[in-house]
Each structure stands twice: as structure tokens, then as C-alpha cells.
């Protein structure tokens, strides 16, 4: 299992484009590849079947990636993400159709590390203003 990268620290990098093309944490770039879009049933299957899921949030261009602590992943999924997850086959997100007028497009990332916790990147639409 990979270490909990959810300490909220980054190496000073910020998101420069959406969709995000690389993931990183305080130790630098991760050896991970962007995979397919996923939706509610896919993420529920990961949470039920596996164990832990590492959620990483790209709130906006100009903001750092936000790593959700593994201990908070299920609650984060249930209360923040699930009501706002865009279907994997949706052509384009429509934020006004979701609570709070924002939503998340989710993609599964594959880590090069064996036995790594599954990574799911959540890209927020519309982006939050950087702090």
C-alpha cells in the first residue's frame, strides 16, 4: 500500500491546465497515468470492494492539488462528491444541475507502484477561485 499522501502539502506546484495531465505531492511527481473517466457506480465499486480510495481534487487552474486524507475518503465521497459526480459517459458537465452549482468530473489514475491505493482525480466544474 502506498503511503498516505493526504497531508495537504504540495511541492509548491499548482494546476496549470484542466484536464490535469500529471499528479504530484510534496515529494514531487507521481508515477501515475491518467485512465478513463469514472462515475458513481465505478467509485462505489472501488469503495465497497477494496478498501481505501485516494481522492485528489483539482479545484482550479492556479491552485494546488488537494489530497483528501484517507481516513476521510468515505465521508468525502458520500457528502461532497457523490451528489455532484458527473456520469462517466456525459459529453459535458452541467454544473447548474448539481447542488451548489458545481460538480466533479472523475478519472481513475493508475500508479506504477505495486499495491497502491486506487487514485481518483476529481476536477471541479466550474473551478473554484484560487486562494
Q: How many domains does the chain divide into?
A: 1
Residue-number span of the structural domain to which 48 is assigned = 39-125
68-85 pLDDT tens trace: 999 999 999 999 999 999
Q: Output b/e per residue, 33-45; b: 16+ Cβ within 10 A.
A: ebeebbebebbee
Q: Which band of pLDDT confidence, cut at 50, 70 and 90, is reported for residue 6?
A: very low
Q: Which band of pLDDT confidence, cut at 50, 70 and 90, is reported for residue 103?
A: very high
Residue 114 lies in a domain: yes
pLDDT exceeds 70 at position 45: yes
- Note if the pTM is more than 0.95: no
Q: Which residue has the cell 481505501?
A: 52
Residue 59 lies in a domain: yes
Name residues whose C-beta falls within 8 Å of residue 50's C-beta, 6 or more positions apart in sequence. Answer: 118
**pLDDT attached to residue 131:** 60
25: which 3 cell numbers?
A: 505531492
Residue 34 lies in a domain: no
Residue 33 lies in a domain: no
Amino acid at each position: 500500500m502506498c503511503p498516505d499522501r493526504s497531508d495537504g502539502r504540495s511541492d509548491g506546484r499548482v494546476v496549470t491546465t484542466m484536464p490535469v495531465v500529471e499528479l504530484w505531492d510534496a515529494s514531487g511527481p507521481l508515477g501515475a497515468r491518467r485512465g478513463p473517466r469514472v462515475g458513481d457506480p465505478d467509485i462505489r465499486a472501488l469503495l465497497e470492494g477494496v478498501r481505501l480510495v485516494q481522492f485528489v481534487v483539482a479545484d482550479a487552474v492556479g491552485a494546488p492539488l488537494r489530497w483528501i486524507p484517507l481516513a476521510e475518503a468515505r465521508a468525502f465521497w458520500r457528502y461532497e462528491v457523490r451528489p455532484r459526480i458527473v456520469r462517466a459517459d456525459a459529453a459535458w458537465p452541467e454544473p447548474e444541475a448539481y447542488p451548489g452549482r458545481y460538480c466533479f468530473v472523475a478519472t481513475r489514475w493508475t500508479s506504477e507502484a505495486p499495491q497502491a491505493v486506487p487514485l481518483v482525480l476529481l476536477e471541479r466544474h466550474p473551478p473554484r477561485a484560487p486562494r
